[in-house]
Amino acid sequence: MSGTLAIGIDIGGTKIAAGVVDEGGAVLARQDGDTPATDPEAVLAAIGDIVERLRRDHDVAALGIGAAGFVDASGSRVLFAPHLAWRDEPLRDAVARRTGLPVVVENDANASGWAEWRFGAVQGEPDVVLVTLGTGIGGAIVIDGEPYRGRFGIAGEFGHMQVVPDGLPCDCGNRGCWEQYASGRVLTRRGRAAAEEGTPLGRRLLDAAGGSVDEILGLHVTAAARDGDDEATGWLADVGDWLGIGVANLAAALDPGVVVVGGGLCDAGDLLLEPARAAFSRSLTGRGHRPEARIVVAGLGADAGLIGAADMARARMR
């Protein structure tokens, strides 16, 4: 399938992923780069370069941007990006001027959720909640087959639901946010602490990270757990436990049919999801007397954000 082509760009805290996407959700060409995190002008220039390169070989009709931040309800401004330099940034119009294309700006998790609903793991499900687990937690809501953005565009920021009073500090300025307990950063934090203490797992992680504590990441912990390390497996189970509790809260509020879990931490598979499902069933209000939402792994992997952004831009043209 090809039809009308659109470019999707997924702008995360550290990486930009971009591609030309056809009407069937297939990615026909790729351009990836690093996010210039400190300067909105540099991000704009990077977007311009990527679009120019992708348009050399493809005739595209629209451009969708999935941005790791709070996007206003009109899809024109990034109000706030906890991990980036944007503060009330008029991104849509700036990119439209630069590229001459119709531009749609969406929250990155909303774009991923849309892609999973259109082409991925939850096609045709009317009521879906997406939880993306990376360094933080992103989220998206589909209600009755439509993305739900909220009155001000900021719905689905599940990572910043406060779950522990006076808990760990978060980049958003609050304390005790869910993403401090149920995302990849938990593994990173515990891994680095263990390396500094010199525990057996800490030494193993330090080796895997090339001898530098600051290079230890969640993926090293996941690899150790997959290798059968009991302590690393326990850390993943702790994260899964918090994940299940949070998802039970989301089910109490939204009653979805399916919860789709995406993001890099999904590589842990059942090491994460089995404890999450157990905690979900344990915590769900009215358990035993109501249907339970399924918890499934996302189908499109890291490309979901750019595929969804492109598709939303194409949909907006119609």
- Of 57-65, 101-109, 167-175, 242-250, which part binds Zn ion (CB under 5 A)? 167-175
Total site size for Zn ion, rule CB under 5 A: 5
Nearer to Zn ion, 170 or 293 (CB): 170
172 binds Zn ion (CB under 5 A): yes
- Of 49-57, 137-145, 162-170, 203-211, which part binds Zn ion (CB under 5 A)? 162-170
- Of 83-91, 176-184, 263-271, 294-302, which part binds Zn ion (CB under 5 A)? 176-184
- Of 30-38, 153-161, 265-273, 288-296, which part binds Zn ion (CB under 5 A)? 153-161
| Least separation in angstroms between CB 111 and Zn ion | 21
Nearer to Zn ion, 96 or 172 (CB): 172
258 binds Zn ion (CB under 5 A): no
Backbone angles phi and psi of 24, in degrees to 5: -95, 5
Q: Which of 42, 47, 164, 149 is nearest to 98 (CA)?
A: 47
Dist CA 172 CA 77 (whole Å): 18
- Of the candidates 118, 160, 190, 277, which one interacts with Zn ion according to CB under 5 A? 160
| Least separation in angstroms between CB 170 and Zn ion | 3
177 binds Zn ion (CB under 5 A): yes
Q: Which of 284, 276, 293 is nearest to 241 (CA)?
A: 276
73 binds Zn ion (CB under 5 A): no
| Least separation in angstroms between CB 39 and Zn ion | 24
170 binds Zn ion (CB under 5 A): yes
| Least separation in angstroms between CB 175 and Zn ion | 8
| Least separation in angstroms between CB 190 and Zn ion | 19
Nearer to Zn ion, 177 or 296 (CB): 177
Contact residues toward Zn ion (CB under 5 A) are 160, 170, 172, 174, 177
